[in-house]
Amino acid sequence: MTPTLAEPPVESSEIKENQPEPAPSLPSDAPLTWRERRQFHRIMEKMPVSIRFSDLSEAIGETANFCARGVYFHLQKRVAPGAQMELVFRLPRQIVRRQGVWMRCKAQVLRVDENFSDQKIGVAATLMEYEILET
């Protein structure tokens, strides 16, 4: 008995049209909207931040997180997107490996989140210039 070789099935357009498409998977060249867009590692750290606004008024807030290009903090004063300010805060030991290192920076508000129940406002700001202050 001689083995017979089966021919591979021929696809017809009728059969293909009636079959459901496979579920899409995330391609390796997916656009950034499908992936994490942050370029820098965020440090999740709550610490006091001193804020001086362009009208020379001042406030104290609390950072939620920050990275090399920006900071997110909570504040009880309203600010508008685009507002510029000066921030001063202590850098955590996990970054600088010693105590007493502070950073003063010029920042611009990118986004304001007002959905907090404790009357605080969330502020996302980009860091434009900074200066390291050692004590």
Cβ contact 123:61 at 8 Å: yes
Give pLDDT, residue 31: 56
Which pLDDT does position 45 carry in this prediction?
A: 85
Q: What is the predicted pLDDT for the residue at 116?
A: 74
- Averages of pLDDT over runs of 10 residues in the chain (135 residues) are 45 47 50 52 88 94 90 93 95 81 95 85 94 86
| pLDDT on residue 29 | 59
Q: If 0-12 CB within 10 Å is exposed, 13-18 middle and 19+ buried, where does residue 123 land? A: buried
| Counts of helices then strands in the chain (DSSP H, E) | 2, 7
CATH T-level fold of 43-134: Thrombin, subunit H (2.40.10)
In this predicted structure, what is the pLDDT of residue 4? 44
Would you say 43 and 66 are in contact if contact means Cβ atoms under 8 Å apart?
A: yes
Going by C-beta distance under 8 Å and a sequence separation of 6 or more, which residues neighbour residue 113? 121, 122, 123, 124
> How much is the pLDDT for 28?
58
Tell me if 114 sits within 8 A of 131, measured CB to CB: no
